[in-house]
Structure 1
Amino acid sequence: MADISAPTVPARDAKPLLVWAIAIAIPLMLLAPAFWNGYPLLQSDTGGYLARWYEGYLVPSRSTVFGLYLHYGEHTYFWGNLAIQALATMWILQLMLRVFGLAGPWRLFGSCLALTLTTALPWLASMLLTDIFSGLSVLSLFLLVLYGSKISRSEKIALFVFTAFSAATHSATMGVLLGLCCVGWILRPFLCGRIPTTHLVQGTLTIAAGAIMLLLGNFALSGQLAWTPGGPALAFARMLQDGIVTRYLNDHCATQQFKLCPYRNELPETADDFLWSRESIFNKLGRFPGLGNEMGYIAVHALADYPLWQAEAALTDAGEQLLKVATGENTDHPTMMHTYGIFRDFLPQQLKVVDAARQQKSHLTFGPFNLIHVPVALISTVLVFVLLLAALWRKRVDDVTLLLATVCLTLLGNAFICGVISGPHDRYGSRLVWITTFALMIAGMRYWQRDDIPNGRSRPA
């Protein structure tokens, strides 16, 4: 009897189909929170970025470059922005696996699935905020500097542009990337050619390109060729939270007339209450235009007056920042009234869809997710430092050690920059800590591939 069973797909066709299926599944997986929400996730800072196009002036800590990025996605109801974020995430993750010799659709899918289930990554990719670019830019800089010889020319150009754009989206991101480049220049002579000079130059130039991009964006939208304001003011708010501002005012109000002197005994306890509360003294005195210069003056002079206190506070805040890694800070509806007001004023045609989203109906809570995210993040942080110290103790400087060192330096640099300038916040930790989990996954897969296991047996790839 003739064989009338259904024909099988030739083996040569199965892999392309699998690759396409996974290439479609991963972005959908990364954007699952936004699909569940019914609209891209918003955060209390989203409105400040979005308004840059419409208001035409500079606002502290709100990048015009990221504001332009959001503006050009408006006609897609910002789903275009999320598509870019998800595709960029998949692209950089697969590049990382490829340069470590771990290429393969199932490894990529498994890595993305694990990160989706255990870290903040899908929430970052689903949100209209700069945070997704923080971790991705560290990985893209790592690829550009250490693995430029293993990727194509077009990939290097794409990584260069991506890293520069990411640096321009947030000052803290630029600071972390700049710090990594500086450490690279310091350590390069001791690493026996592991960091090629030309690649390190390219990595450093991404920071310069990001700075130029930001200056041009500020000029295009505001007419001012100036840096985004806000650094001294945010440092002032952190000093206020540490009690330093009150001490400075008590010591100097007898001889200097500050606007804050009459209110020095009424200052709030936290930086967030001072900067963002509607009934804050900050609002009463004119916010940044009315109080910015005074805040900057006090921040600078308080550094000179109380150096030991400042150093102690800086170390304490940086240490606390390392431990603050919970997902979802300031994404519940009551904290987003400014963002909602921006939509009401400038994008009223989208209000109906925004209002219908679960986030605006107070259905979004991160408590259950953080039961997983926080332990995974903290355990991953401990393990990357332990593995790095173990590798250094054994004087082993291989590819995995360089990745672990990059991740550890990133965490320390981010904790110092964000903790000291803005004060510790969960958002600043959660947007980066997922790369520690990814680094551990790469280290584990590389170990599994090794042929020189102590018992002499090789493990399957």
Structure 2
Amino acid sequence: MRFLAGAVSLLLALLALLAPALWNGYPISFHDTGGFIARLFENEPGFGRATPYGLFLDGLYWHLSFWPAIVVQSLIVIGLVAETGRSLLALRGNRLALLTGAGTLLLAAITGISWYTSQLLPDLAAATAVLALFLLIEGREGRSLVVTILLGLVVILGAASHTGTVALLLGLVLYKALLIAGARLHAPLRHWSRRTTWRLGAGGLALALGVLTVPLSNQALYGQFRFTPGGDIFLFGRLVQDGIASRFLADRCPDPAFKLCDYQAELYEPDGSQRNNDSFLWWGGSPLYKIGGWEGAGPELAQITRESLVAYPGLHLAAAWRAFVEQLGLIATGDGLNETHWHTQWILEQYLPQEVPDFLAARQRQKDFPFEALNLVHIPVGFAAFAALPFLAFVSFRRGRAGAGRFTAFVFVALIGNAFICGVLSNPHDRYENRLIWLALLGCIVACLSLWRGRKLTNNQLD
């Protein structure tokens, strides 16, 4: 009976993570989905669309409308939650199955995680890579080589899927390296420091392999050993939005070195406001496409970015701070999930026309989203869990629950780092922080259960 209860809880957890896709009648799509699907069909790397994640989707297509891909994404989450329970709560058997099922159900019910497990987009890979990296470094003793390899593959997938995730994982590796170095100066922590050092190396190796996977896959498919193109242009879009690009051109133009000088006025909207990041990148009439588009404009925009950093360091710092703070406050579910994804539809029409009828029949095309109601729960839960992390880390360390303390601190640093990277290097959007915020609730669950179990053990010893 206990085995049956555990199995049922895991099945319910899987269904909860797939719920948005089941509601939709088709895996959830995003503006960028088509760009990833196209990787196996086009003859050059996609701008801002990492080839490895495209291969992940195409490899799990199986003529089943990409359902295998989102099932695998959901199973990755369930497996990581289970490994967290093993590592930090020492659970086994039916208790572990019940906690994994119930915990995943809770995450799906009151955070936006299921909208990422059900979505054809690498946003989920950022969060799962963070959790897998922690478990690689801080996980349980005596785990099998197979589990270690699987955790490494999750890190590799995350690092290979987006350059922003690479920056986040690199920052977390450096954060743990600093903690380990500091621990060597404190005698009670030297054993932990020695034990964790080689594990940090395993995490760093997985990160390096994930980074290397990108140019290797581009070499294999397109004969181009290069990273995902377009990063300079994404960054320049924020400079347009913040007015730094306009300030630079006003000071430097006319200058034959910069084609953008001829289009200064078009960096503003008709009402006189600064053109925003998304408008500069994606509007067909944007100056970006008049000076060479994604392929031709990159060198010029990169040069303007570099020279503006030297010319206006104060403006860059102020803009970066504003973007970071704004990003910290954006955690709503549903950002960008609208009914019109014309590029994804076009890609399907070109390469997988058999998918178009189901894609068009999906509930998503009818603009029938429940996000307003969902965010009445998701937003306050997300902020409350995020705010509770440093408090729970402090209490966990004070009461001798170091594993839970390190986990909650790690997640808190990850959320802060993610807000900085995404806000500063791209542009503040709700989905950037929302895709990781479920880790905050998981951290709170683990810390509370760890503290409760520690108190129960103490009381039993006193009895």
- Counterpart in the other structure of 2:321: 315
Q: CA deviation at 1:404?
A: 1.4
Q: 2:159 aligns with which of 164, 167, 171?
A: 167
Question: Does 17-26 or 444-453 show the bigger shift?
Answer: 444-453
Using the size of structure 2 for normalisation, the TM-score is 0.91
- Measure, in 1, the Cα distance between the counterparts of 2:22 and 2:370: 16
2:73 alignment partner, SS class: helix
Contact 2:108 2:114 in 1 (8 A): yes
Structure 1 counterpart of 2:82, one-letter code: Q
Contact 2:392 2:447 in 1 (8 A): no
Alignment of 1:195-206 (within 5 A): 195=193, 196-206=196-206
Q: 1:376 aligns with which of 373, 381, 384?
A: 381
Q: CA deviation at 1:396?
A: 6.4
Structure 1 counterpart of 2:192, one-letter code: R
Q: 1:88 aligns with which of 64, 76, 85?
A: 76
1:190 matched to 2:182? yes
- Measure, in 1, the Cα distance between the counterparts of 2:419 and 2:257: 35
The structure-2 alpha-carbon separation of the partners of 1:152 and 1:254, relative to structure 1 and needing over 3 Å to count, comes to same
- Measure, in 1, the Cα distance between the counterparts of 2:305 and 2:47: 16
- Measure, in 1, the Cα distance between the counterparts of 2:393 and 2:11: 35
- Counterpart in the other structure of 2:186: none
- Counterpart in the other structure of 1:344: 349
Q: CA deviation at 1:27?
A: 0.9
Structure 2 counterpart of 1:112, one-letter code: T
The structure-2 alpha-carbon separation of the partners of 1:442 and 1:308, relative to structure 1 and needing over 3 Å to count, comes to same
- Counterpart in the other structure of 1:445: 449
Contact 2:392 2:444 in 1 (8 A): no
Structure 1, residues 199-231: CA drift from partner, whole Å, max 9, x if none? 111010001110121111111222100111122
Q: CA deviation at 1:240?
A: 0.9
Q: 2:279 aligns with which of 254, 273, 280?
A: 273
Q: CA deviation at 1:395?
A: 9.8
1:128 matched to 2:120? yes
- Measure, in 2, the Cα distance between the counterparts of 1:417 and 1:428: 10
Contact 1:118 1:376 in 2 (8 A): yes
Contact 1:66 1:169 in 2 (8 A): yes
Contact 1:148 1:199 in 2 (8 A): no
Alignment of 1:132-151 (within 5 A): 132-147=124-139, 149-151=141-143
Any gaps of 5 or more consecutive residues in structure 1?
1-13
- Counterpart in the other structure of 1:207: 207
Alignment of 1:293-332 (within 5 A): 293-332=299-338
- Measure, in 1, the Cα distance between the counterparts of 2:381 and 2:110: 7
Q: CA deviation at 1:386?
A: 3.4
Question: Which consecutive segments of 4 or more residues in structure 1 shift more than 6 A?
Answer: none
- Counterpart in the other structure of 1:6: none
Structure 1 counterpart of 2:254, one-letter code: A
Structure 1 counterpart of 2:362, one-letter code: A
Any gaps of 5 or more consecutive residues in structure 2?
184-188, 269-274
1:217 matched to 2:217? yes
The structure-2 alpha-carbon separation of the partners of 1:362 and 1:261, relative to structure 1 and needing over 3 Å to count, comes to same
Structure 1, residues 357-409: CA drift from partner, whole Å, max 9, x if none? 100122224211111111111111111133345667x5967111101111111
- Counterpart in the other structure of 1:3: none
Structure 1 counterpart of 2:6, one-letter code: V
Question: Does 247-256 or 138-147 show the bigger shift?
Answer: 247-256
- Counterpart in the other structure of 1:287: 293
The structure-2 alpha-carbon separation of the partners of 1:22 and 1:389, relative to structure 1 and needing over 3 Å to count, comes to closer
- Identical residues among aligned pairs (%): 34
